[in-house]
C-alpha cells in the first residue's frame, strides 16, 4: 500500500473544491475580529463542536453563516493563499476552484471584490508555487433562476478569470432542469460547464445534468452507483466524477467510508477523481482524502496514480499545460 508521504507527494489536480469551504476556524476568528463581525461562538473549539453534520443542509447553514466574516478583497486573497499553501504541501499542481458569488453579493460584497481577491492569490501561487488554476462560478440552485442569470451577466466582465460554471447548494427539490437556459448561455459564452448531481439527489439528476445542461464533469455523482445503466453511460462517454470521500461521510450520504463507490465505479470503467470539497469542515485536504480511501477501500499505488492522472486529463487546463502535468 502507498505510504501517506507517497500519496501526499503524488502530483495531482483538485477539481472539486469550494474556496469558501477552506475557511479554517482560526482564520474565521481572525477575520471576525478584523472586520468587527460578531461570531456566535466563543472560541475555535466551540465553533468546531458544530461540525457534526446530519446532512447537506445542516452543513450549508453553518457554511453560509461563517463566510459572513469574508468582506474585503484582502480577506478573499488571504483565504485563497492559505488554501494554496496547503494544496502545494499535498501535491497539487493544478486547482479548479468553485466560488459562490451569490452568497457574497446577497450580503453586499461585490462580485469584483471576490474575484479580484481570489485572483490575486491564484496569480501569486502560479508564480511562487507552480500551481496553475481556474475559477468556476457556482450558481446556488436553491436561489431563483433569475438570480443565477444576473450573476452570470455580472461575471461576464471577468471571463479572463472564469473558466466555467457549476451548480451547488441544496440539491433535492432543485433539479438541473431549472437551469437549462442559464447553462445554454454560459456555453454560448465559451465557458466550461459542470454540475453537482447525485450527492443527495437521485441518479435522474445526473442524467439531467448531462442531457439538459451539457455537463462535462459531474461533481460527486455518488448515487450513480444505484443505476447500472447510468454507470455504463458515464463509462462509455468518459464523463469524470469529481468525488469527495470525506465529505460524503461527514454529510452522511454514506454511513462509512468503506461503502464509498469510488473503487467500484473505477472498476466499471468510470473516470473517477479524488477531491476535498470543503476541507476545513470535512476533516481533510486532498492528500488526506487519498489516505482515507487507501485505509477504507484498499486503494493501491497504481489506482492512486491513475486517479491522479485522470485529474489532469479531465481538468480544463490548456493542452500545453496538460502536457506538462502529465
Ligand atoms: N454540496 C453542495 N453544495 C455545496 C457543497 C456541497 O458539498 N459545498 C459547498 N456548497
Ligand atoms: Zn461540492
For residue 234, what is its C-alpha cell?
458515464
- 277 forms beta bridges with 17
The Å distance, Cα 202 to ligand 2 centre, comes to 16
Tell me what the mean pLDDT of segment 222-248 comes to.
98
CA separation for the pair 280, 32 (Å, rounded): 17
For residue 308, what is its C-alpha cell?
491522479
What pTM value is reported for the model? 0.98
Tell me what the mean pLDDT of segment 41-68 comes to.
97
Reported confidence tier of residue 153, pLDDT bands at 50, 70, 90: very high
The Å distance, Cα 188 to ligand 1 centre, comes to 26
Residues lining ion ligand 2 (Cβ < 5 A) are 277
Reported confidence tier of residue 157, pLDDT bands at 50, 70, 90: confident
CA separation for the pair 114, 120 (Å, rounded): 10
Tell me what the mean pLDDT of segment 281-309 comes to.
98
pLDDT at residue 86, rounded to an integer: 98
* CA nearest neighbour of 84 among 28, 160, 163, 14: 14
DSSP tag of 200: S
Q: Determine whether the shortest distance from the Cβ of 17 to ligand 1 is under 6 A.
A: no
- What average pLDDT is seen over the chain? 98
Tell me how far the alpha carbon of residue 71 is from its chain's centroid. Answer: 21
For residue 294, what is its C-alpha cell?
487507501
Determine which residue's CA is closest to atom 4 belonging to ligand 1.
169
Asked if 262 and 297 count as a contact pair (C-beta separation under 8 A), the reply is: yes
DSSP tag of 107: T
Reported confidence tier of residue 207, pLDDT bands at 50, 70, 90: very high
Q: Which residues form the domain of 83?
A: 4-325
Domain count, the chain: 1
> Is residue 226 annotated as a catalytic residue, yes or no?
no
pLDDT surpasses 90 at 292: yes
Tell me what the mean pLDDT of segment 82-96 comes to.
98
Evaluate the CA torsion angle 20, 26, 27, 31 in order and state its sign. positive
Which ranges of 49-199 would DSSP assign to H, the alpha helix? 56-66, 73-89, 101-105, 111-129, 145-155, 180-188
| DSSP per position, 221-260 | -GGGGG-HHHHHHHHHHT-EEEE-HHHHHHTTSSSSGGG-
Reported confidence tier of residue 159, pLDDT bands at 50, 70, 90: confident
> Between 158 and 16, where is the model more confident?
16
CATH of the domain at 166: 3.20.20.140
- 98 forms beta bridges with 18, 136
Mutate to test the pocket of ligand 1, among 64, 168, 275 (most ligand atoms within 8 A of CB): 168
Q: Determine whether the shortest distance from the Cβ of 66 to ligand 1 is under 6 A.
A: no
Determine whether the annotation assigns residue 278 to a binding site: yes
Amino acid at each position: 500500500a502507498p505510504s501517506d508521504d507517497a500519496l501526499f507527494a503524488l502530483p495531482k489536480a483538485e477539481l472539486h473544491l469550494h474556496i469558501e469551504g477552506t475557511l479554517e476556524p482560526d482564520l474565521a476568528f481572525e477575520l471576525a475580529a478584523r472586520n468587527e463581525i460578531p461570531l456566535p461562538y466563543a472560541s475555535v473549539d466551540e465553533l468546531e463542536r458544530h461540525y457534526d453534520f446530519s446532512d447537506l443542509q445542516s452543513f450549508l447553514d453553518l457554511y453560509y453563516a461563517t463566510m459572513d466574516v469574508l468582506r474585503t478583497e484582502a480577506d478573499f486573497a488571504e483565504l485563497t493563499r492559505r488554501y494554496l499553501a496547503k494544496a502545494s504541501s499535498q501535491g497539487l499542481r493544478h486547482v479548479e476552484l468553485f466560488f459562490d458569488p451569490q452568497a457574497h453579493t446577497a450580503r453586499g460584497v461585490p462580485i469584483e471584490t471576490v474575484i479580484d481577491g481570489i485572483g490575486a492569490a491564484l496569480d501569486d501561487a502560479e508564480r511562487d508555487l507552480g500551481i496553475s488554476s481556474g475559477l468556476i462560478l457556482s450558481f446556488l440552485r436553491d436561489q431563483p433562476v433569475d438570480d443565477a442569470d444576473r450573476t452570470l451577466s455580472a461575471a461576464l466582465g471577468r471571463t479572463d478569470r472564469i473558466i466555467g460554471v457549476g451548480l451547488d447548494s441544496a440539491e433535492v427539490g432543485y433539479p438541473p432542469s431549472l437551469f437549462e437556459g442559464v447553462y445554454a448561455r454560459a456555453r454560448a459564452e465559451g465557458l466550461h460547464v459542470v454540475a453537482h448531481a447525485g450527492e443527495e439527489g437521485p441518479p435522474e439528476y445526473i442524467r439531467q445534468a448531462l442531457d439538459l445542461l451539457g455537463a462535462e464533469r459531474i461533481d460527486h455523482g455518488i448515487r450513480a452507483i444505484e443505476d447500472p445503466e447510468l454507470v455504463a453511460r458515464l463509462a462509455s462517454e468518459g464523463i469524470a466524477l469529481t468525488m469527495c470521500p470525506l465529505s460524503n461521510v461527514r454529510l452522511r450520504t454514506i454511513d462509512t467510508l468503506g461503502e464509498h463507490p469510488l473503487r467500484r465505479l473505477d472498476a466499471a470503467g468510470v473516470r473517477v477523481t479524488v477531491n476535498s470539497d470543503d476541507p476545513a469542515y470535512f476533516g481533510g485536504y486532498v492528500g488526506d482524502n487519498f489516505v482515507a480511501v487507501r485505509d477504507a477501500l484498499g486503494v493501491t499505488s497504481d489506482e492512486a496514480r491513475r486517479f491522479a492522472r485522470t485529474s489532469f486529463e479531465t481538468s480544463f487546463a490548456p493542452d500545453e499545460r496538460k502536457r506538462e502535468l502529465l
